[in-house]
């Protein structure tokens, strides 16, 4: 790593740290607000373009901080302009992604601009239907690397006078396994002196890191907690979310239930619908039983195709049938659309393409083992051999 990379990203600095830099540069205190406004409220891509600041202060800031931690970004626009997928390159040469989705307004409904951001480069959890899981884990993102995805999207919206209305931690990575940085990022997003987005417009999604959920509950955080459930039965969830072997589904749901009770906020449950795997009537009934009476909202999401799995999305009819069984148990359910499928815009997918196709023999081997593991799970047994199937193997 070079000296250049050692400078912290300016977006990750708390206002107090910015104030300390201003004082060290011998500048008056009002400069702190000018700097925070330049970072969070204006569109300059380069520190040199921040003309509200004197050149000497810009030099001092440039020596101490990085204006942007995203070195280069490729944007792919799809869905007739409604989805913008950004692939960002970081110092260290990792690639991460963020996805900006535009939802038109309507009668009594204002238009929304939702940004999905990454919290890690890759992910160690290794869910077999997820392209990020396929990549394996590279590293945690720093606070500024998380926040600079938001600034990038805000800059794209600004020329048309538009602002982000929602931010979801549903890109690459498991946010609760990088929780300190994620909490710093949420604080910056929420802070009226910085991004100033209401906590209720921020969603943090987890595959079920129970101690992380408990920590959030203790903080009394008001942002939305989303739990990637996918299956209510342990043998199947062990295959779909390998972390389930550490924190079984009943523990995850108990922690989410306590969170809802403590915050008074509905927990979102995400279910990626996979044909013939987790969309059966028995799975719907098990899920209804598990969540019945809880303060929840269930989102059913068709699976985006991923190269290395033998699986595909449930049909629209199967998803409707699944939803109907949950609704019959009194659970609120939404069937979600997947965005950006035509450019492979599923979670982690563009970055996976950049990483190169895995060798066909490795894909064939993984598919076969996954088929065996899921068949065993569908019979209700706990497959002993699931570990090597789900562990990421290079190439």
Instruction: Give yes or no for residue 224 binding ligand SF4 (CB under 6 A).
Output: no
Q: Nearest to residue 141, comparing CAs of 10, 17, 12? A: 12
Cα distances (Å, whole numbers) of residue 266 to 258, 270, 306, 345: 11, 13, 30, 28
Q: For residues 94-123, which are near ligand SF4 according to CB under 6 A?
A: 123
What single string gives the DSSP state of each residue in 278-343?
T-SHHHHHHHHHHHTTSSEEEEEEEPPP-TT-S--BPPHHHHHHHHHHHHHTT--EEEPPPP-GGG
Cα distances (Å, whole numbers) of residue 164 to 155, 222, 331: 10, 18, 29
Q: For residues 105-124, which are near ligand SAH according to CB under 6 A?
A: 123
Which one of ligand SF4, ligand SAH, none is in contact with 304 (Cβ closer than 5 to 8 A by kind)? Answer: ligand SAH
Instruction: Give yes or no for residue 132 binding ligand SF4 (CB under 6 A).
Output: yes
Which one of ligand SAH, ligand SF4, none is in contact with 170 (Cβ closer than 5 to 8 A by kind)? Answer: ligand SAH
Q: Residue 126 or 142: which CB sits closer to ligand SF4?
A: 126
Backbone angles phi, psi at 359, to 5 degrees: -60, 140
In the numeric block, which tokens belong to residue 73?
A: 């970004």
Instruction: Give yes or no for residue 90 binding ligand SAH (CB under 6 A).
Output: no
Q: Which of 27, 84, 97, 174 is catalytic?
A: 97
Instruction: Give yes or no for residue 207 binding ligand SF4 (CB under 6 A).
Output: yes
Least separation in angstroms between CB 57 and ligand SAH = 39
- What whole-number distance in Å separates Cα of residue 361 and Cα of residue 318? 32
Least separation in angstroms between CB 269 and ligand SF4 = 14
Which one of ligand SAH, ligand SF4, none is in contact with 126 (Cβ closer than 5 to 8 A by kind)? Answer: ligand SF4
Tell me how many residues contact ligand SAH (CB under 6 A). 17
Least separation in angstroms between CB 155 and ligand SAH = 24
Q: Residue 69 or 178: which CB sits closer to ligand SF4?
A: 178
Instruction: Give yes or no for residue 97 binding ligand SAH (CB under 6 A).
Output: no
> Would you call 205 exposed, middle or buried from its count of C-beta atoms within 10 A (0-12, 13-18, 19+)?
buried
Site string for ligand SF4, 151-190 (x = CB under 6 A): ---------------------xxx----------------
Instruction: Give yes or no for residue 303 binding ligand SAH (CB under 6 A).
Output: yes
CB 180 within 8 A of CB 359: no
Among 228, 263, 268, 314, binds ligand SAH (CB under 6 A): 228
Instruction: Give yes or no for residue 302 binding ligand SF4 (CB under 6 A).
Output: no
Among 117, 170, 202, 231, binds ligand SAH (CB under 6 A): 170
130 is catalytic: no
Instruction: Give yes or no for residue 209 binding ligand SF4 (CB under 6 A).
Output: no
On the CB side of 98, CA atoms within 13 Å amount to 28
Instruction: Give yes or no for residue 270 binding ligand SAH (CB under 6 A).
Output: yes
> Would you call 244 exposed, middle or buried from its count of C-beta atoms within 10 A (0-12, 13-18, 19+)?
buried
Q: Which of 116, 123, 127, 347 is catalytic?
A: 347
Q: Residue 226 or 323: which CB sits closer to ligand SF4?
A: 226
Assign 3-state DSSP to the chain and report helix, strand, coil percentages, each to 5.
45, 20, 35
What CA dihedral angle connects 318, 319, 322 and 328, to 10 degrees? -120
Can you list the pairs that 388-394 forms with residues at least 24 positions away whose Cβ atoms lie under 8 Å? Answer: 389/128, 390/126, 390/128, 390/239, 390/242, 391/126, 392/126, 392/133, 392/134, 392/135, 392/136, 392/137, 393/362, 393/366, 394/136
Which one of ligand SAH, ligand SF4, none is in contact with 270 (Cβ closer than 5 to 8 A by kind)? Answer: ligand SAH
Task: Work out the end-to-end distance of the chain between its first and last CA atoms, rounded to an integer number of angstroms.
Answer: 26
Least separation in angstroms between CB 114 and ligand SF4 = 18
Residues 6+ apart with CB under 8 A from 218: none
347 is catalytic: yes
Instruction: Give yes or no for residue 344 binding ligand SF4 (CB under 6 A).
Output: no
Q: Nearest to residue 219, comparing CAs of 199, 205, 201? A: 199
Least separation in angstroms between CB 318 and ligand SAH = 15
Using CB under 6 A, list all residues that contact ligand SAH.
123, 129-130, 170, 174, 205-207, 228, 270, 272, 301, 303-304, 306, 346-347
Q: Which residues are catalytic?
A: 97, 347
Using CB under 6 A, list all residues that contact ligand SF4.
123, 125-127, 130, 132-133, 172-174, 207, 228, 347
């Amino acid at each position: 790593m070079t000296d250049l990379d050692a400078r912290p990203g300016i977006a990750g600095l708390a206002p107090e740290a910015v104030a300390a830099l201003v004082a060290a540069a011998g500048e008056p205190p009002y400069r702190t607000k000018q700097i925070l406004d330049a970072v969070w409220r204006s569109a300059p891509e380069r520190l040199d373009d921040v003309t509200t600041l004197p050149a000497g202060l810009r030099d001092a800031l440039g020596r101490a901080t990085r204006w942007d931690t995203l070195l280069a970004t490729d944007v792919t626009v799809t869905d007739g302009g409604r989805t913008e997928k950004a692939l960002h390159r970081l110092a260290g040469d990792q690639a991460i992604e963020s996805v900006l989705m535009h939802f038109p307004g309507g009668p009594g409904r204002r238009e929304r601009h939702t940004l999905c951001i990454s919290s890690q480069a890759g992910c160690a959890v290794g869910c077999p239907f997820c392209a990020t899981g396929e990549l394996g884990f590279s590293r945690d993102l720093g606070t500024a690397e998380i926040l600079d995805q938001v600034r990038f999207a805000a800059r794209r919206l600004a020329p048309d006078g538009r602002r982000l209305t929602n931010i979801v931690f549903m890109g690459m990575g498991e946010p609760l396994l990088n929780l300190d940085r994620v909490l710093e990022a949420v604080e910056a997003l929420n802070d009226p002196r910085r991004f100033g987005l209401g906590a209720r417009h921020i969603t943090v999604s987890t595959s079920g890191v129970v101690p992380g959920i408990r920590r959030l509950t203790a903080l009394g955080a008001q942002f939305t907690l989303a739990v990637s459930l996918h299956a209510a039965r342990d043998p199947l969830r062990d295959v779909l979310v390998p972390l389930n072997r550490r924190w079984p589904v009943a523990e995850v749901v108990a922690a989410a239930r306590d969170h809802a009770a403590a915050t008074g906020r509905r927990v979102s449950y995400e279910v990626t619908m996979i044909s013939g795997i987790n969309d059966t009537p028995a799975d719907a009934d098990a899920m209804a039983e598990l969540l019945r009476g809880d303060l929840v909202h269930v989102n059913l999401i068709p699976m985006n195709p991923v190269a290395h799995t033998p699986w595909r999305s449930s049909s629209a009819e199967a998803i409707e049938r699944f939803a109907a069984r949950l609704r019959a148990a009194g659970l609120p359910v939404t069937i979600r659309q997947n965005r950006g499928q035509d450019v492979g815009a599923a979670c982690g997918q563009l970055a996976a393409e950049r990483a190169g196709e895995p060798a066909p023999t490795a894909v064939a081997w993984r598919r076969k083992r996954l088929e065996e593991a899921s068949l065993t799970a569908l019979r209700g047994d706990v497959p002993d051999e699931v570990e090597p199937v789900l562990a990421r193997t290079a190439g």
